[in-house]
Amino acid sequence: MASCIDPAKLQITRTTSPKPKVAKEKLSFGAVKSDHMLEIDWDVETGWTAPRIVPYHALEIDPAASVLHYGLEAFEGMKAYLDPSGKARLFRPDLNMKRLSNSMERLAFPALDKDAFAECIKALVRVDKDWIPRGEGFSLYLRPTVIGTWPYLGVHAAHRIKLFCIACPVGPYYPEGFKPVKLLADDLHVRAWPGGVGDAKVGGNYAPTIAVQAQAAARGFTQVLWLFGQGKGGQGQEKLVTEAGTMNFFALWKDAGSGRPTLVTAPLDGTILPGVTRQSILDLARAGSLGDLDVQERPFTIGELAAAGREGRLLEAFGAGTAAVVAPTKLVHYAGEDIHIPLDPANPSAGAGPLAQRIWNELRDIQYGLGSHASHPWSVAAE
Ligand SMILES: *Cc1c(COP(=O)(O)O)cnc(C)c1O
């Protein structure tokens, strides 16, 4: 019985009918898939199969499989980038593996061999390297996924699972420069709660958000700002600000006491997805790489955000995640009130504030290995 994933046993079957590449300008997020995928199965009796890289294909799945009934599914989102010398790199893959391992534990899946699985993902990147589009903002989006395949209708830990990874060439999130978003702070729906699964990247967290997102879009908002707490409307000012859509959320304001520029984000209290981008922004800010600002990882309320706006202390706000890196926010609407957020006072046509732009530049340089960041501990060679 293979108790571990063994990258040394990796079997590669290359496609005999490679798909035509799609023009870089035509890539839309997650629509185009590369030629290959990675698959590894696990069975409680026999353990892990050898990892396989095979042509991209539809899965055959038993209609009783637990993923189809009880949502036994977790996933990751990461990217492979080409550096100036044409080598493929990943960005902090250890954090994705740790998070996937935590998500799997929450679903009573077997323990994940994090390093071994990361090696298999690197092998997929090498096989599909010609699918990584070159250029700033371009990358190969990787979607490691794990599902319960055991065909048994009892609500029970899966005796069989499938771990796989597909890859999609993607272009810049903002092909024409930053496009600041408007968020609707939702008063009725809750994304996550203490003791729930908000800190696990499990599919079950996302299905219930789609209708809420659609309602916000129908009202002219780009995304939902998820709050948590008691009260509604005027009574809801103590509600905590948690996340924006599928991104972590940051505000930069002058602290009401010290007057210092302060970067605030919600703490990892179980209701927040531990984003790799979020962690990287906090790490850079604490290391002083983002300028002179204080950093606070603490619960903060929609009332505090509104007060900072009213009092002219609010400097910037943005979402943070792998897909967009940063999503500058220009407005948050809550309970009939608009909270306006400045972008760049020195440059009214800029779609992002100076801090969001600085974060974007810094992370881009690390991810693509540019300039002074040609080598950086967060940027890991895939070949
Ligand atoms: C994936 C995700 C994020 C962002 O995580 P990154 O690792 O930065 O991409 C934030 N919030 C939610 C709910 C997510 O699913």
pLDDT value of position 337: 94
How far is the centre of ligand 1, averaged over its atoms, from the C-alpha of 199 (Å)?
Answer: 10
More confident residue, 233 or 351: 351
243 lines ligand 1 (CB under 6 A): yes
* DSSP-assigned beta bridge partners for residue 76: none
- Closest of 254, 285, 279 to residue 358, by C-alpha: 285
- Closest of 269, 220, 278, 219 to residue 244, by C-alpha: 278
How far apart, in whole angstroms, are the C-alpha atoms of residue 331 and residue 166?
Answer: 35
pLDDT value of position 1: 53
List the single range of 87-91, 136-140, 165-169, 171-175 with lowest mean pLDDT. 171-175
Name the token pair of 215: 């309602």
- Closest of 307, 302, 306, 331 to residue 231, by C-alpha: 302
Q: Write the residue with the smallest CA distance to atom 10 of ligand 1.
A: 247
For 277-326, the pLDDT digits (tens) are: 999 999 999 999 999 999 999 999 999 999 999 999 999 999 999 999 99
Residue 245: band (very low, low, confident or very high) from pLDDT cuts 50, 70, 90: very high
Task: Tell me: pLDDT of 65 over 80.
Answer: yes
Instruction: Report the SS3 class of residue 4.
Output: coil
Q: Write the residue with the smallest CA distance to atom 6 of ligand 1.
A: 275
For 153-184, the pLDDT digits (tens) are: 999 999 999 999 999 999 988 877 899 999 99
32 lines ligand 1 (CB under 6 A): no
213 lines ligand 1 (CB under 6 A): no
pLDDT value of position 25: 84
pTM given for the model: 0.96
